[in-house]
Structure 1
């Protein structure tokens, strides 16, 4: 991605997290401590407050700086996980990786930092299908707009599927079987953000 594309995506993520603070918090409060939406919103607010001062020398530098801000400003377990995702994506971008490889790097970072994997009822349950769908669509020759739309659709379907899972990580894991029957807040956040990115990407392409 170009630096302009990178900025647009990151800003969309930030604005979506802030706008959905209550929704994400309500989802988290079902079996968690309910602070996910608040923590995410406060962290991304800090990012936007210092937006003009972020390093724009390259997409990788921009993502790494974003990751540092997020890791230090988002409370709870979300800060280290989301911060690591941006840092790993930035490092991959600095080495010339494409978007799919950047997402794969972010995923591996989250797995290592959270000691979690697909099936544990976390954001990974939406992020991995999103990445797989994006990769498949691009490999099939789809346009960026079509590929992003496919990725967002896959993320939504996967997030909804966490309803049937039992949480194995985070505070929700302490509730055991009671965590079954509700969507994972982190996975749904990934889906909502992906859908918003798809919308803004389409608008940008049309302008």
Structure 2
């Protein structure tokens, strides 16, 4: 993924998080402490405030710098998790001018698992991020274009996020509610789905305009 496309994806993530602050917060307040949307929005606002000063010497460096800002600016448990995801993705990209997005996502996933002591099935953002990555990888391996693969990944993320309503939370504040956490979706997983859908929409529009 080129530097310009990496920048575009990160900016889309930031803008989507800010625009959906209330929605993500409302989802989190069902069984969590309700600060997810607020924390995410404030952190990405800080990222955009310093947007022009971020190191753009390579996609990997850009992602690592992004992760450092997010880790230091987003409150609660979200900061370390989302920050780690970006930093691990950046580390996987290295100095490559067009790094492999699937490898970056796999690295981000492993970073989140290690930092959050969590895995698929614990009712976290991983429950959308892992299926998203699996679908993206399989679509690309089958010869799909980047736009087609991202569209398929967005569908997989949404299906997986919706399915978290049947899970019992095992991590985060929601885990304190036990069985009461069943019946509501995980805010982090939905955020991953909403963001991926926005990225897909942006890429489809770019393709139509080109």
Q: Aligned residue for 2:106?
A: 104
**Deviation at 1:206?**
2.6
Matched, 1:91 2:91: yes
Q: Aligned residue for 1:162?
A: 164
How many residues align? The count is 207
Distance of 1:33 and 1:11 partners within structure 2? 27
Distance of 1:7 and 1:202 partners within structure 2? 17
Distance of 1:95 and 1:152 partners within structure 2? 28
Normalised TM-score (structure 2): 0.97
Contact conserved, 2:81 with 2:115, CA < 8 A, in 1? Answer: yes
Matched, 1:140 2:125: no
Q: Aligned residue for 1:195?
A: 197
1:151 to 141, 150, 153: 153
SS in structure 1 opposite 2:180? helix
Normalised TM-score (structure 1): 0.99
Gaps of 5+ in 2: none
Contact conserved, 2:85 with 2:111, CA < 8 A, in 1? Answer: yes
Distance of 2:75 and 2:52 partners within structure 1? 23
Matched, 1:19 2:22: no
Q: Aligned residue for 2:46?
A: 46
Distance of 1:133 and 1:95 partners within structure 2? 26
Q: Which moved more, 1:42-51 or 1:94-103?
A: 94-103
Q: Aligned residue for 1:68?
A: 68
CA RMSD of aligned residues (A): 0.7
Gaps of 5+ in 1: none
Runs of 4+ deviating beyond 4 Å = none
Contact conserved, 2:60 with 2:93, CA < 8 A, in 1? Answer: yes
Distance of 2:197 and 2:174 partners within structure 1? 25
